[in-house]
Each structure stands twice: as structure tokens, then as C-alpha cells.
Amino acid sequence: MLTARLSLLDRARTRVGEPDTAALTGVVERAVAAERLGYARFWVAEHHGVPGIAGSAPAVLLAAVAGRTATIRLGSAGVMLPHHQPLVVAEQFATVSAFAPGRVDLGLGRSPGFTPPVRRALRETERDFAADLAELRGYLTGTAEITLHPQPAGPVPLHVLATGRGLQVAAELGLPVVVGGPLLGVAGDPGPGRAALADYRRRYQPSAQQPEPRVAISLDVLVADTAAEAADLLLPEAWAMAQARTTGAFPPLEPVAALRGRTPTARQQQYLEQTAAGAVAGTPTQVASRLAELVERTGAAELVAAGSTFDRAALAASDAALAELAGAQLVAGSAAAMASPSVP
């Protein structure tokens, strides 16, 4: 049984042969299923000008999800704050909270746009991420010089999608973090993550929202009856990452049957292996063991499963199997147990 609360992250991945709208309606249907399965939280993301992702407007997408759900917490993982003015982000999420009172979380990151044209279109400039975060928090908590309208229907907790510098900012402002990628390391080799998380906890300044440091970890998680089937589930995402790294274009997901006979270049093979190493894909027993090791090593309070694959039915089965692995702990981490201002 897992000892961390369990959430899903859906980036609205597009699929070959489908319109982008199918990716968005798929997000809503997956959120409805996640609530039924007892997941604690459902996250969406923000990407601009990426062929393989339709999720460009997280506040709008969360409003659609709010209309179809009743109890599961809803969050962004995340809004890229350098693309927006803090007041506008605060207004958007205060509005979402009107449709899902007490259920909305605002995860914030600082990743740049996908390509130079996207960065130009977003009018990206050098911004002080810590100052923007503090300003945004002021609007949501009613301590800024401008009174926010609409007023949030309950607290809108902030989370930081953190790299090295992001961890420092989160510690200084007393905010929980969501970490992934290289900071998680691999089995037997924690990489720089252990030291970085220890530093976050050591530097942490308690806040009204979060008196103690809190870590969530995010990675691709896919569960199937056999290890081979799970590897197949991971293949579409792994190939998309390999193509993005070698061609500069992050494509829609392709069917496994179309990928099995494809011969990767040496560089593509390297990226395929990197994606596999950074994911947790396997049988229920294998996945449970690997996730338990990650949670123990990182001290994570929440696991954000971000897996995707071409076959929506197989993805739904994986979500159900992961929920079953969590058992009673998943139920304990439901929205009702997570409603206090200090996000557990």
C-alpha cells in the first residue's frame, strides 16, 4: 500500500488521427473517472504552440472539469507565471474557485516557451519569479493594495513546480513544491535530488498556508498486467520525447503498432532509454515497489502520476490499477481530507 496521497496529471496529449478537441474532452472524462476512483487531486498543465499538447489554458480547462466533478481537488501543474501578469492569474483562479469552492489549487512554474517564436508571441521578458509569486499570493489572500474580484470561494493554495532555484523560492515563501525529472534520480541513484530536497526542508520558512515543508513528486506511472504490456504503454510517450529531442517538434501520440517496427537512430535510442529510466511502468507489484522506494527516499506526501499513452482505454485501466494499489490510503487522501488551508 502506498503511503503518499495520489493524484493524476493530464497534459491534454493529442493523438494521431484525432482533433485537438478530443484531447480536451478526454481530460474532462479522465477527471470524472479519477474522482470515481478516489484520487485526491487532478492536475492540468500549460503549454503553448506544442503540436502534441492541447492544454494551453489551464484555468479554462479546470472550469470545464469543475462542472463535471464534485469532490476531487483541481489544480494547475502548472501555470507558467512568466507568461502572465500575477493579477490576471489570480482573477482566473478566483473565478474557477467560484465553480469549485474549496477545491482549487494553483501550481506555478517558470519554464520558458517551447520555441523562440512561442517565446516571442508570449512577450517573454526577464521577471522576478519570487516577487511575482508574492504579489499573486497577496491578491489571493486579500493583503495586496488591489482587492481581487471575484473574491475566491475559499482558499486557493499555491504550489511551486520546482527546480533548484524554484526550491529556494518555495522555501523562502513557505510554499509546497512539486518536483520531478532529474531531481527524482533513478533507483539506487538519487542524483542531486536528495540534497536539494534536504536544503528545501532546512531553509523552509513556515507560512499561514503551509506551516511545514511539503513535497509532491511527479513522474510517468503506467500499470499493466505484464511488464511487456506496460512497456508498450510507455512507448508512444517515449517516442514523442525522442522525436522532440532530435527534431525539435513534440508530436501527437502514435499507436504502439505503428512504433514497434520503427528503428531509432542512436540518439533517439538514447532518449527512449532516458524516458524509460525516468518512468515507473510495470506490473502492479513492480510499480508498488518502485513507488514505495521513491516515496521513502523523497519523503513525498503526494505522488502525481503523469503517464499518458495512445490507447485511452488502456490508460483508464492503468489509472484504475494504480488507484487499487493505493487502497485505503487513497481514500484517506480524498478531497474532504485535504480541505484545510494547510494542504496535507
Transcribe 122-156 into DSSP letters: TT-----HHHHHHHHHHHHHT-SSS--SSPPSS--
Task: Provide the sign of the torsion angle of the four alpha carbons 208, 35, 217, 251, taken in this order.
Answer: negative
Say which residues have a Cβ less than 8 Å from residue 253's Cβ, sequence separation at least 6.
13, 14, 15, 16, 52, 236, 237, 240, 308, 309, 310
What span, in angstroms and rounded, lies between the C-alpha atoms of 102 and 297? 31
In angstroms, how far is CA 151 from the centroid of its own chain? Answer: 26
Could you give the CA distance from residue 128 to residue 144 in angstroms, rounded to a whole number?
17
Collapsing DSSP to helix, strand or coil, 169 comes out as: helix
Is the distance from CB of 210 to CB of 178 less than 8 angstroms? Answer: no
Task: Determine the Cα–Cα distance for residues 307 and 66; give it in Å rounded to an integer.
Answer: 22
DSSP conformation class of 249: -
pTM of the model: 0.92
Contact (CB, 8 A) for 147 and 95: no
> Does residue 150 have a cis peptide bond before it, meaning omega lies within 30 degrees of 0?
yes
Structural domains of the chain sorted by starting position, each given as residue range(s) with its CATH number in brackets: 5-225+281-338 (3.20.20.30)
Q: At what angle do helices 58-66 and 20-37 cross, to 10 degrees?
A: 50
The one-digit pLDDT tens for each residue of the chain (344 residues) are 567 899 999 999 999 999 999 999 999 999 999 999 999 999 999 999 899 999 999 999 999 999 999 999 999 998 999 999 999 999 999 999 999 999 999 999 988 777 788 888 888 888 899 999 999 999 999 999 999 999 998 899 999 998 778 899 999 999 999 999 878 875 556 667 888 999 999 999 999 999 999 999 999 999 999 999 999 999 999 999 999 999 888 999 999 999 998 999 999 999 999 999 999 999 999 999 999 999 999 999 999 999 999 999 999 999 999 999 877 344 433 343 343 334 45
